Structure 1
Amino acid sequence: MTRTDSEYSVRTHGIEISLTDTGGDGHPVVLLHGGGPGASGMSNFSRNVDALATSHRVIVPDMPGYGRSTKHVDHDDPFGYLAGAMRGMLDEIGVAQAHLVGNSYGGAAALRLALDTPHRVGKLVLMGPGGIGTTRRLPTDGLKSLLGYYSGDGPTREKLSAFLRTYLVYDGTAVPDELIDLRYQASLDPQVMADPPLRRPSSLRALWRMDLTRDKRLRHLSNPTLVLWGRDDKVNRPDGGPMLVDLMPNAELVMTSRTGHWLQWERAELFNQLVGDFLSSESLWSTT
């Protein structure tokens, strides 16, 4: 397979989407990042792109509100807005169908895109996705830390360090200072500070829309799905994994020990093997 790497932007429905397009002739795979302060596509999947690009065309966007993309999200229906933006991006680059790999916020966007237009999605990989049972219990401490980043005394490096090292991963000592510095500077974008992309739901209706387990279409979503969840996830509760498998007709669950919310970063080798095998296999799950 011939591999090419390029970075460019597309415009869809008035939204500018920046993306990295890596790989060659393999089936397209879109990697959708999480919603933490200073996040971006390539920084979230830095340990995964090369492995997946050996057999797939890998498309890594900065979702709206992050990186170099438009700094706006519709807070009345954020997951629907993100799904629409990603679908529009695929239209602009001529991709009729893609596998979707989504982490947290990106996992919720991937699942909503599949619910709205299942024919546009091949397989789904959901890592600790948002929107799973969110109306049934109070937020976790990790989610409170995330949602409170721009409130109170505003963003600080100490707040970001606490979120990344205490809540995002199992072993906080593994997070380098350079990563904290990079994400902190990105989080200070004036447009983001004026309109944070991830915030508490603006209304009860918005909160209801954000609980994807209440969507009746979920029980009929037949796309092959691999659910990955760190057993020590402090942002999105690990019991969301069994909940999804109970609701979805064609889903498998892998739960890993000593792993937090950022499974694709903490357990990159395992993630790359599981996801590569799942996406490349003809059946739902590889037996090799």
Structure 2
Amino acid sequence: MSSARGTDAVQPEIITHTVRTSLGPVSVSEAGEGPVLVMLHGGGPGADGLANYRHNLAALAPHHRVVLPDQPGFGGSYRPTEDDLDARSITEITVDAVLQTLDALGIERFHLLGNSLGGAAAIAMALAAPDRVGKLVLMAPGGGWLPFGPTPTEGQKAMFRYYNGEGPTVRKMRDFVRVMTAEPKRWEDTVQARYEASLDPSHIEFYHRYNAAFGKRHGMDPLWRDVHRIKAPTLLLWGRDDRTITLDGAQLMLKQIRDVQLHVFGGCGHWVQLERQAEFERLVTDFLQER
């Protein structure tokens, strides 16, 4: 059940296929060969594995078998129900689904990278399966961060607004990109594509359930309480001007994770992998290849 998503002059071949888990189908895109790098996307409207990381594959796939799951609720993967979200948090659901997916693909050990919502899942996976995670890269991760300023943050408010009121609009997506990035004019060409990707009716229904569950649980799982148990060497990547998962919250992880380093990008918001693409790719590649 696999098909080529396409190639071009700089893009490696991308294969997208569906993996059956006990929770539901999970869509996975893959590119490259070598040590496995699992990359978990953020939770914004229209997000999925390829939307987050397609532009980085040309640099990463020559060194790694890059595995991009669409997390439950997003992209081509199944949509958790209200009962699912009452029983477990979205992070717990994602960890279960992704580990089952990797088991089905015969992947035992892997490097792990996560951004925002996917960063929360990456922390939780590193805690749940410490012997399977080689190295860990966290980009402004939810859950492991303890904010010192007001919450919800400006970025979180923009996400909550997007599907409420009159529903998705191009104007709202433009506002969302403005909050996510430090230089929004650079990303104007992404607005329409992200807007169109956000219109899937099943995703909209899921997002309302997800936001309601988020409110019931008073936010993300408090993973910050357990980050001292992370065994994997960890690279923290953060935009200094992130208005969604703010830099001040990095201090707890920097203090509590045993083998950790932090790189801060000035003039950068929440989308490090796009806003500082070349530096992101170099830092990740060097970190994963270090002995």
Relative to structure 1, the CA distance from residue 38 to residue 5 in structure 2 (aligned partners, 3 Å threshold; closer, same or farther) is closer
* Correspondence 1:209-220 to 2 at 5 A: 210-215=221-226, 218-220=227-229
Runs ≥4 residues deviating over 4 A: 134-137, 200-204
Shift of residue 195, structure 1, vs aligned partner: 2.0
Shift of residue 209, structure 1, vs aligned partner: 6.0
Of the structure 1 ranges 61-70 and 189-198, higher mean CA displacement relative to structure 2 is found in: 189-198
Q: Tell me which of 126, 142, 149 is aligned to 2:162.
A: 149
Partner of 1:257: 266
Structure 1 position 230 matched with structure 2 position 239: yes
TM-score in terms of structure 2 length = 0.88
Paired residue type of 1:10: V
State the Cα deviation string for residues 198-238 of structure 1 (Å, max 9, x = none): 4254565x3376121123xx212221000000000011111
SS in 1 for 2:96: helix
Partner of 1:286: none
Relative to structure 1, the CA distance from residue 86 to residue 120 in structure 2 (aligned partners, 3 Å threshold; closer, same or farther) is same
State the Cα deviation string for residues 157-178 of structure 1 (Å, max 9, x = none): 21111011x211110001133x
Relative to structure 1, the CA distance from residue 137 to residue 210 in structure 2 (aligned partners, 3 Å threshold; closer, same or farther) is farther
The count of aligned residue pairs is 274
Shift of residue 147, structure 1, vs aligned partner: 1.8
SS in 1 for 2:29: strand
Q: Is the 8 A contact 2:147 2:249 kept in 1?
A: no
Paired residue type of 1:50: A
State the Cα deviation string for residues 172-195 of structure 1 (Å, max 9, x = none): 001133x22222122111111222
Shift of residue 7, structure 1, vs aligned partner: 1.5
Structure 1 position 188 matched with structure 2 position 188: no
Partner of 2:85: 75
SS in 2 for 1:46: helix
Q: Is the 8 A contact 2:109 2:134 kept in 1?
A: yes
Whole-Å Cα distance in 1 between the matches of residues 14 and 290 of structure 2?
25
Of all paired residues, the percent bearing the same amino acid is: 39
Structure 2 alignment gaps of length 5 or more = 1-11
Q: Is the 8 A contact 2:14 2:31 kept in 1?
A: yes
Partner of 2:230: 221
Structure 1 alignment gaps of length 5 or more = 283-288
Whole-Å Cα distance in 1 between the matches of residues 133 and 149 of structure 2?
28
Structure 1 position 48 matched with structure 2 position 56: yes
Q: Is the 8 A contact 2:142 2:220 kept in 1?
A: no
Whole-Å Cα distance in 2 between the matches of residues 113 and 228 of structure 1?
18
Whole-Å Cα distance in 1 between the matches of residues 288 and 234 of structure 2?
10
Q: Is the 8 A contact 2:49 2:68 kept in 1?
A: yes
